[in-house]
Amino acid sequence: MQLGRQLLDRQIVDADGVLLGKVDDVEFAVDDQGLPYVAYLLTGQGALGRRIGGRVGRLLVALADRFADEPTGPVRIPFGQVARVDSAVRLHVRADVLPRPPVETWLRRHLIDRIPGAGRAGG
């Protein structure tokens, strides 16, 4: 399938040009006629770990789950939010309307926010 070449491992860029990560996997759904379509782009350590598989994949998933308040799985971006696919996957929405990856949330809460002056930093 050409899907792997068109989507997997491409940078995800929001409407403001902010890099959000890479497409680590995709999730399919089936329409009323029984035809499959890409429903979500999956990103984050959980998605990448499941894609890789084996010991390394399980380790990535375990680390992602460790940093989450509760295991939530990968970050799921509805494919309807994709504006276009070229050298990157460009969204027509801003990053602040998307869920934050659990590892990023944990790092911000436990490390970044404790740095003096971090409250004045962008992001």
User: Would you list the domain boundaries of the chain?
Assistant: 3-120
54-63 long-range contacts, Cβ below 8 Å, gap at least 24?
Answer: 63/103
For domain 3-120, the CATH superfamily is PRC-barrel domain (2.30.30.240)
Q: Tens of pLDDT along 19-57?
A: 888 898 888 999 999 999 999 998 877 677 677 778 877
The rounded radius of gyration (Å) of the Cα atoms in the chain is 16
Q: Tens of pLDDT along 60-114?
A: 777 776 766 666 667 889 999 999 999 999 999 998 888 776 666 666 666 666 7
Token pair for 98: 């998307």
